[in-house]
Structure 1
Amino acid sequence: MPRIVLPSPPVDSEQTRSFRTHASYIRAFRELALGNSGSPLEETLAGLHASATPILFKPGGLPSSCDRDQLLACLRRAWATARLLEHTHALAQDSEIIRLANSWGTIQAYYVMYGAAQALMVAKGDTRPQMHEPTKRRYVGLWTSCGLQIAPWTLAAAAPGTRLADADGILGGPGRALNVDLHPWVAWQGEQAWDIAARALRSTRQLLIEERLAKRRQEKLTARKKQWRLDQQACAASGRKPEPEPKVGRLTTAEREEAAAGFRPTTIADYLFRLRIKANYKDVTVFSDGPTSDSEAAQVGADLVALASATLLVHELRIAAIIGSSDLVKSMDAVLLQASGEAIGGMAHRRDLHAGLS
């Protein structure tokens, strides 16, 4: 079969600019989760497990009356999606196909987060939310508002003045002023991952607020039109000249400020959902046409795989603290046994790490 060669995009195309920005954001979240040592994923996951266990694995509370079948179903969906992400990256990383694979990889990374978060919610005895927005809203209470400090999962962007937030509205930061104006294209490194991740969350929050304002404007326009129709009836009855139909629903400054200030904190779950919408609906070519080289695309794929596996690990630790590490490991063993010798990457390694919990 002849080798497929995709044309290289212009170095300054809209897709390339967008790709660079999101590649930087994804890398920042991955570095907050696993560091920037460049070590193999197995080593960085072991390091995360060691540092996160004292924070997240605190058994001994009241037993949860959770729906174990629902819990396992949520975990299986997250695990299966992570395996698809890993396998696709492993098969495609040395070919041009990686650029196409990353479009699905961003979607899969979100669904790993979605399934893992819902599994933890169920483990805590709550009902599983049926839609994306309730899941993202409850994620805030699950991680950002629960008193834990483990980035990037507890990091969030809120309105300035929010309790416990810094001057720019960042919750769960590193305890220093963040440079939220740091451009994602600069050659940032080390502790600057905090600044880039905060910028990603702030920009995501702004997009969500703009959507909220658009909805409020439409609601106001609908109300104005309803009142206009009533007024037209009165005009017709009195013989007065009819007024023109309203075309816009402008918000006052106070209404805009209230909508922005009242919006919930924005988390990594919101950012990954933003990528899902972008890659699946709004700009389906950004991850296929955006990279200027296959190596750029391969790095994004590797970062998505690492971030997904780290996300599963921290959720699994909290679930193990509730249902018991032995039950979690047994559930993982059942899935691994069904793999029938397939390479299952991060899951097998996480299983071994969890097996050492006591």
Structure 2
Amino acid sequence: MGQLISGPVTFKDTKVWQNSQFSVAASSMQGWRVRMEDAYACFLNLPTSDSLSPPTAYFAVFDGHGGTKISEYAATNLHTKIMAEPAYAKGDLVGAMRSGVLRLDAEMQVKFTGHLSHSNTKRSPFDLPDVEVEGRSLFPSSGGGVDVGGSTCIALLLRGNHAYCANCGDSRAVLSRQGVAEALSVDHKPTMTSEWSRIVAAGGWVAANRVNGNLALSRALGDFVYKRNSTLSAEEQIVSAEPDVTQCELKVTETDEFIVLGCDGIWDVMTNQEVISFVRSRLANGRPLDLICEELMMHCLAPNCNPNGLGCDNMTVVIICFLNGGTYDDLKQRCSRLCPAGPAVDVLSP
């Protein structure tokens, strides 16, 4: 657990956006941590010079650790990397998100450590082309051990009736399907069989449920001290930046109501269903979306520094509500429908 302070910082950096398709709010709170290391990015419609390109929304949360360099750089630049991928222009958003995340990580390693110490990806010496920052070499014989921290990445593209979710780490995306929580991502933890196997094969180990006894997640942007094996690809390193990318068909005219993106400061305290029920019950009561974000974080905030650290982390949440050409009041009515999972527990009601 990171360093804590004597009392929580409860100031909230909250923003809202809305168009005919979405109502969105995002909020971050430092909490009990010494500094705020999270970052997020929201675009209701990604900018493009191609007038024929279909409208695409982008939302992402980055939970930094060991500093803010990686989370802040990723929040500023990931969407441009995804859009620059040849796969993006071809409509292959799954491929674009995967290669865009890997490209960004390679670029950050060059930028922040001076070189790229692994052999890029499984696909070619660089199927992710031309990563160079300030003229520094991509292929030194060794190195890459500068510790600049790291970050999770949970990124969401919405195009037409599909959601594309790229996950690297243990932040999450969860869809409300008529009040039932449906996970769009799976946490990357070192205790997972596939993750453990990669870690050990790359020369690492798992102790106390952590990579090399230190890192609680097994995939991340940054964390370049775990990416120094020059004989392995980016995907094969002790800690990998390879995202799992999922595609989900949305039913916004039928059952789908909203998606919640959040860091583990939220999900360590509440289950997926608890978060969905918390948000949905407040939407059904017409609560403003920005206040729902803030109330969710305050609900997760620990009243004191407890030994297990739950509720003491930085917190960031993004809620994307589907308007589908309707109004916020229409959304209120949709969220008032009976939930097949049953009523929310009392503690989650407004």
Range class of TM-score, shorter chain: under 0.3
Bigger CA radius of gyration: 1
Q: TM-score, normalised by structure 1?
A: 0.23
Q: Which has the higher helix share?
A: 1
Q: TM-score, normalised by structure 2?
A: 0.23
